[in-house]
Amino acid sequence: MISKNMYVKALLFISFIAGSACSSTDKVQQQQVRLEPKQDLLAMADSNFQDAAAQYKVMMERLPQDQFPKTYHEERDKLETSGSDWWCSGFYPGTLLYLYEETKDEALYEGALRMMQVLEKEQFNTSTHDLGFMMYCSFGNLNRLRPKPAYEQILLNSAKSLSTRFDPKVGCIRSWNSSPNDFIVIIDNMMNLELLFWATRTTGDSSFYNIAVTHANTTMENHFRPDFSTYHVINYNPATGAVQEKKTAQGYADESAWARGQAWGFYGYTLMFRETKDSIYLDQAREIADFMLNHPNLPEDKIPYWDFNAPDIPDALRDASAAAIIASALLELSTYVETEEASSYFSAAETILQHLSADTYKAAPGTNGGFILKHGVGHHPAGTEIDVPLTYADYYFIEALQRYKNYKRK
């Protein structure tokens, strides 16, 4: 039988244990309140910048004149390239500019400028929705670093070209050109809105802002499932604006969660909050983050499989590009929320960056065609760019490392 004394002692012991547990939790929270980059990870970021700059010089040497890097085929030692009209053309000069910013190596800056002379003509391209990627990742960064009216004009013309694809009946910017009975919008398109916000900030013309907000609202209404995963493709009826199809192009299945699509949506709504300060976008970004971070198929290292519902998990390929985009957006989101939540986003970003910086994902010097990261998945269903380096994986990896290095709570 338990005596009263023993009972009291037991209670005291339990409260002592609970007290210790509380005080250690308090300590953790006190550490979290500071939410500062860690010294060893800052050193890791710095050595990544140096290594990446050396890699991009390898790539610079290998690139045919006026061609932009797409990917690299190790088995044939072949760099695959594109012209300036490919959706990825802004990432290479953009990465060179980030690396110039971090290393002050003028050769990187000059290399970026050379490519942007080739890219410049795309400011008048009205046949793509990817102008945000192409022009803001390149000229947006250039104008941020060394502002010039000529760069502003290029960005403004690009914003005007992008705006021609907006249809008020649908409430969206058209993504891919298609048959006249279809109006295709992909989640990736959220990333192009940053250029429009820049245009309104710079000119005072609110039409760009209004297009961006309308596009984001329509997308929020139609692209997302109740669990905040996103469809890749919505096909609207151009005559009525009604949704006529919800499907995938680059994911495993219409109802699956293609990893990069989740990443684009997440980054997109995080930037929507930055630009508008409207909490509906903050909530959307948090829900998307929580969908990904709490997903049972997200591996411990937080580098997602190319699709959260890939049928061959745990043997499915990972997508380093999705991981890099997610890490960059997690760091930004963590500056907008309260400490405890911020700390979970911040440490998830740290986990991703640490794993991308290790040998499994980061290329050895002089290898990988000069790309920084390995193991991206471009278009699995089409059988292209599978388990390869990708120019946007590098761009968002370097951006995330820079965000980490400059991290400040707002």
* Cα separation values, 1 from 7, 26, 66, 342, 370, Å: 10, 37, 87, 49, 74
**260 binds ligand GLY, rule: CB under 6 A:** yes
Angle 279-285-286 (CA atoms, 0-180°, nearest 5)? 90
Size of the site for ligand GLY (CB under 6 A): 4
* Cα separation values, 163 from 120, 267, 341, Å: 18, 21, 36
Residues 340-399 that bind ligand GLY (CB under 6 A): 378
* Cα separation values, 62 from 37, 82, 85, 94, 390, Å: 35, 14, 20, 18, 16
370 or 378: CB nearest ligand GLY: 378
**219 binds ligand GLY, rule: CB under 6 A:** no
Q: Which of 84, 222, 250, 284 binds ligand GLY (CB under 6 A)?
A: 250
Q: What is the 3-state secondary structure (H, E, C) of 166-226?
A: EECCCCEECCCCCCCCCEEEEHHHHHHHHHHHHHHHHHCCHHHHHHHHHHHHHHHHHCECC
Catalytic-residue membership of 130: yes
188 or 394: CB nearest ligand GLY: 188
68 or 100: CB nearest ligand GLY: 68
**319 binds ligand GLY, rule: CB under 6 A:** no
CB of 260: closest distance to ligand GLY in angstroms? 5
Nearby residues of 20 by Cβ (< 8 Å), 6 or more positions away: none
369 or 378: CB nearest ligand GLY: 378
Catalytic-residue membership of 319: no
* Active-site hit among 188, 307, 319, 394: 188
Residues 169-188 that bind ligand GLY (CB under 6 A): 188
- Structural contact between residues 394 and 91, judged by C-beta atoms closer than 8 angstroms: yes
CB of 322: closest distance to ligand GLY in angstroms? 9
122 or 188: CB nearest ligand GLY: 188
* Active-site hit among 130, 307, 319, 394: 130
188 or 332: CB nearest ligand GLY: 188
**223 binds ligand GLY, rule: CB under 6 A:** no
Owner of token pair 């308090």 = 26
Torsion of CA 34, 35, 40, 43, to 10 degrees: -110
**232 binds ligand GLY, rule: CB under 6 A:** no
Angle 291-258-91 (CA atoms, 0-180°, nearest 5)? 105
**129 binds ligand GLY, rule: CB under 6 A:** no
**70 binds ligand GLY, rule: CB under 6 A:** no
Q: Which residues bind ligand GLY (CB under 6 A)?
A: 188, 250, 260, 378
Q: Which residues are catalytically annotated?
A: 130, 188
